Amino acid sequence: MTTTPSRPTPPPTNLADDGPARSGFAARVSLGRVFAPVPSEFLLLASTALILTGFGLVMVLSATMATANASPFETVLKQAVFALLGIPLMFIAGRMPLRFWKRIAWPALGLGIALQLLVFVPGLGVHNDGNTNWISLFGFQAQPSEFLKLALAIWLGFVLYRKQTLLSKWQHVFIPVVPVGTLVIGTVMGGHDLGTAMILMAILLGCLFFSGVKLRLFVIPLILVVAAAAVFAVTSPNRMARIMSFLNVDSTDCYFADAGSCYQPLHGVWALASGGIFGLGLGNSREKYQWLPAAANDYIFAIVGEELGLIGCAVVLGLFALYAVGAFHIIRKTNDPFVRIVAGGITIWIVGQALINIGVVLRVFPVLGVPLPFMSQGGTSLVSGLLATGVLLSFARTLPVRVPALDVASGARPARPVPARAGSARR
C-alpha cells in the first residue's frame, strides 16, 4: 500500500512576534489614510481658489495704491488678513464630514438671519450708496449677507434632501422652502440691496433645480423670483436710474462725475478699451486715479483689463471656468442628493456672481453692486467664498472611486468599487 507523504507542519506562530507585526500593519494603514491622494476635483477647486485669491490681492494693491491716504499697502494688508483667515478655514471645512454639514443646517441659517438683522440696529448698521447691508464692530465692517448665502445653500440642501421622496407634491416643495426663502431675501431687501437679493434668489432656484423637482414645480418659483426682482427695481428710483443708464446710449453728459449713474459704467468700459490685448502694464492704470468709482471693489475686472489687457481677462475667465468644471464634476459624480443640491447652489452662487460682475463691467447688465468672488476688495466676501469652497472640498472627498480593473487573464481579481476615498467620513 502506497502511503501519501504528509505535508510538513508549519512551525508554530510566535505570539510574541504577532503583536508587533499587526501593529506595524496598522501603522502602515494609518499613514496611508493620512497621505492618500486627494480627488482631482479637490485639487482643481483648491488651486483655482488660491490662485484667484492671490491674483486678487495683487490687483487690489494696484487699484488702491494710487489713492491711499497713509500707506499704499494699507488696503491690501487688510485684505491679506482676511485671506490668511479664510484659507485655513477653507481647508478645515474641507476635512469636515457630511454629517457635520447636515447637523448645522438649521443653526447656520438661524445665525445668518440673526447677523443680517444686526444691520437694522442703530449704531451697528452702516449705510452706503443707498444700501444698508453692513455692520461695524470694533472698527471692522462686515457684510452678514455674504455668510447668509452659504447658510441658505446648506439649509436648502438639507431640507430638500430630507424630502426627496415627497418632491413630486407641490406642498412639500414650497413648504418650508418658499416661506423661509422669502424671509431670508426679505431681510436683505430691507437694506435695499437688490444685487445680493438676486444672488440669494439664484441660489434658491439652483438648489430646487438640482434637487430634481418637476419642471412645472420649478417654473412657478422662477416666475415669482422674476416678478419680485421687477417689483424691487421699479419701486426704487436709484435702481431705475441704473437700469435706464444701462439702456441709454452714452452721451457727453456721462463724462463728468456728477453725471449720475452712467458715469461709472462708461469709465469701466474705457478702462477695458484702453488696455487692448496686452494691457498698459501692471500698476499703470489711469482710471484708478479717482476716475473710476469702486475700482478695487465691483470694478476690479476693469482694472485687470486695463493693466493686463485681454490676456489678463481671459486668464480670470479661464480660472472661473476651471472652478466650475471642478464643482460640476462633484455634482455629476456624487450619489448623495444632499451633496448634489448644496454643491449646485454654491456653484450657482460663485460662478453666477462672477459672470454677473463681469457682465456689469462689460455693460451687458446694469450696475447691481455685486463683487467679483475671491478678487474684489472686501474681507467678508473673500472669507465666505473660501469657506464655501471648503464645503465643496469636503464633498469632493466623499466621491465614489473605482480602482482600475486589472487583467483578468493574469489571474488578478477584478477591481471592486470603493464607496469613498480614504479619509472621507461616513455619511
Side chain identity, residue 206: G
Contact in structure between 290 and 356 (CB atoms under 8 Å): no
Give burial (CB, 10 Å; 0-12/13-18/19+) of 271.
Answer: buried
Instruction: Give the C-alpha separation, 126 to 128, whole Å.
Output: 7
Does position 92 have pLDDT exceeding 60, yes or no?
A: yes
pLDDT over 90 percentage in the chain: 54
pLDDT averaged over every residue in the chain? 84
Q: Grid coordinates standing for 338?
A: 444632499
Contact in structure between 304 and 312 (CB atoms under 8 Å): yes
Torsions phi, psi for 128 (to 5 deg): -150, 130
Query: What angle in degrees, to the nearest 10, is found between the helix axes of 263-275 and 300-333?
Result: 80
pLDDT tens figures, 182-200: 999 999 988 888 889 999 9
Does position 401 have pLDDT exceeding 80, yes or no?
A: no
Residue found by looking up cell 457682465 in the block = 359
Q: Is the dihedral of CA 56, 61, 66, 67 positive or negative?
A: positive
pLDDT-derived band of residue 257, with 50, 70 and 90 as boundaries?
low
Full-model pTM: 0.84
Does position 421 have pLDDT exceeding 70, yes or no?
A: no
pLDDT of residue 136: 87
Q: Grid coordinates standing for 151?
A: 447658510
Contact in structure between 83 and 382 (CB atoms under 8 Å): yes
pLDDT-derived band of residue 409, with 50, 70 and 90 as boundaries?
very low
Q: How far is CA 142 from CA 64, 194, 208, 215, in A?
A: 19, 18, 29, 38
Contact in structure between 387 and 93 (CB atoms under 8 Å): yes
Contact in structure between 148 and 115 (CB atoms under 8 Å): yes
Instruction: Name the β-bridge partners of 125.
Output: 135
Q: DSSP code of 257? A: G
pLDDT over 70 percentage in the chain: 80
